[in-house]
Amino acid sequence: MPTPAVLLGFVAATVTLVLVPGPNLIYILTRSLTQGRRAGFLSALGVEAGTLVHVIAAVAGVSALVAASPTAFTAVRLAGAAYLVYLAVRTHRQPAGLDLATGARSRPVRLFLDGALINVLNPKVMLFFLTFLPQFVPAGTDPATTRTHLLVLGAVGFVVALILDLAYVQLSAPLHRLLTRRPRFLRWQRDLAVIVYLGLAAFTVLTAQL
């Protein structure tokens, strides 16, 4: 098991990284502001479930294989961007002025899966875990112990990130209630979500390079 000092350092590093706004946090906040706290919570759970997939892939060596293959890495990158474009198109097809929170209550599985897929198909997250987790494993550790350390660190990172994501969602709830009382926001919230999804897709394509 990692020592308390290693765990403390890892938690501090994880908190610092999660607090810096990135694509996952922008996605979660967009869901929260346009569809409410419930949608934000489910999206955060999905995103961090995707984090667990990345941790397991890094420990099993799958991430290293994908990162070593330009073709496989590009396929993951384009699949992630394509799914974000799909979300934008799906959102755009909803009538303008519709309170998106109304539909969110009946589709919890969809909200969860959207968050999970967006994270799983983000190659930058894959590379992050491939390079970040091993930094907290002492040099010379045998392979079996290394895998145990990585799994424990991944689980701790999952818990820390989920707590912070849910805190962001909770803090955004009053703003969602305030905005949904304004007819102008109800007219524009669909377009806001579409713009964010397309922007994240462009970010994935343009910045996730080997």
CA distances, 139 to each of 4, 101, 112, 143 (Å):
17, 49, 37, 11
- Rounded average pLDDT over 69-90: 87
Residues 157-205 pLDDT 10s = 899 999 999 999 999 888 877 777 766 665 677 778 888 889 888 888 8
Q: Of 79-88, 90-99, 136-145, 173-182, which one has max mean pLDDT?
A: 79-88
**Residues of 24-53 as b/e, b for ≥16 C-beta within 10 angstroms?**
bbebbbbbbbbbbbbbbbbbbbbbbbbbbb
Q: What is the distance between the alpha carbons of residues 116 and 48, in angstroms, rounded to a whole number?
A: 7
* pTM score: 0.82
pLDDT recorded at residue 106: 45
Confidence of residue 103 (pLDDT cuts 50, 70, 90): very low
- Rounded average pLDDT over 60-74: 85
pLDDT recorded at residue 101: 52
pLDDT recorded at residue 41: 94
pLDDT recorded at residue 143: 83
